[in-house]
Structure 1
């Protein structure tokens, strides 16, 4: 099967992104027209590759933590023993969306100090809602004949959850994770205001020095990462859905 034009464009974007963060000096002629007064055309206050990797690491840690908590809460409130905790759980996961990330950072810094920790807290809180709501949707919209058949063959509640419910709900859960990751990739840039090592450093340096080239470099890296991550997780979601024999329309 020949690759389609969108696939080729994604591959080209990935190659350009890797080349830029690894060897940014190659692209200096592209960004030099955006500079003034002989300012550097390429960010020179740190390694773009290192900042990109630490940015991704921060998002990954926050997303994994948010996924564990959000899916755990969704499982709890869809069991008979925990259904009464649904309103409380919804209130808890909405906290991150109620408070702006900047406000969360301001509240977290006095407690945990500057650096990556307050950024992780902000991203964790901000990423809970889409994962929780999608996990809840996935676990409450399962095909009734399948769940009844699982009960009919004598599966315990734990066996139904692991072998039937979670596999069927996984595509919808992945859709929530996808949304959470894309939000976190952009939101993580503000972590640099509290000394976290993210791509926000490049954007802030550009704003402080009135260097549009720096601002564009930071923004482009984050934007391309978000697009490629979104597409990659969408492909994974579709693959899981095909294997599970379910539709991904729910939770989109």
Structure 2
């Protein structure tokens, strides 16, 4: 086992212990408190908050992946090529509007809670997945696609059996980027009463408790690094597998 994997396993283990038994770390976090402030976040269960944060990010990323990949598939088919500028504009729109602005616009319609946060993360996550899927589907080896046509495959068969498997590592890279962005961005959902790790950070800021801010920030940061590395490893594995396929 490499040193990098050992460090990742150690970080995952420490994070798991902290979320399950945060009081065991009270001595460390007390170094960042003053005036007898609580050392560990005490306005909710950290494990439940973290799981809810991940659930929101996962749901938004899944929705963004389905829509972005679907749009990219459509615009790379002959019948949908003319919709490429419109699709790209839609994907870019999510990055054009800051998530805070999306939340402000969504709250009057959807109310406070998780729904506005899901909308903001969904829109913000579209662009990297769409662009990577587009890149993956438009940069396939011509010899492979020609061979698929020569074998008599239909357009649907080529898409499912040849194009998407070959483009999968590139698509996954977009999903990886979108997921990490959403993990960090989801913290602002707490400003509209969504249950995310942002509530830990906000509570720390409002009370001047640096320990709370540090706890929320560290959990988000460690999760982002671990998920990023995990998806990157899967991407490398898929790339290697594609490279070993017979031409």
Q: Confirm or deny a common fold (TM above 0.5).
A: yes
Query: Paired residue for 1:179?
Result: 177
TM-superposition CA deviations, 1:185-220 (whole Å, max 9, x none): 000000000000000000000000000000000000
Structure 1 segment 136-151 matched on structure 2, within 5 A: 136-151=134-149
Q: 1:66 aligns with which of 40, 64, 67?
A: 64
- Deviations along 1:82-131, one digit per CA (max 9) or x if unpaired, are 00000000000011100000000000000101000000000000000000
Are 1:31 and 2:33 an aligned pair? no
How far, CA to CA, are the matches of 1:210 and 1:96 in structure 2?
33
- Give 1:86's match in structure 2, choosing from 68, 84, 87: 84
- Stretches of structure 2 lacking an aligned partner (at least 5 in a row): none
TM-align CA RMSD: 0.7
Per-residue deviation, residues 147-166 of structure 1 (Å, max 9, x unmatched)? 00000000000000000000
Which whole-Å CA distance do the structure 1 matches of 2:65 and 2:243 have between them?
23
Alignment partners' CA distance in 1, 2:69 and 2:31: 48
Q: How many aligned residue pairs are there? A: 244
* Higher helix proportion (structure 1 or 2): 2
**How far has the Cα of 1:5 moved from its partner?**
1.0
Q: Tell me, what secondary structure is at the counterpart of 1:168?
A: helix
- Normalised by the size of structure 2, how large is the TM-score? 0.98
Q: Distance in 1 between the 2:80 and 2:130 partners?
A: 15
Give runs of aligned pairs for residues 51-200 of structure 1, distance below 5 A. 51-200=49-198
Structure 1 portions without partners, runs of 5+: 247-252
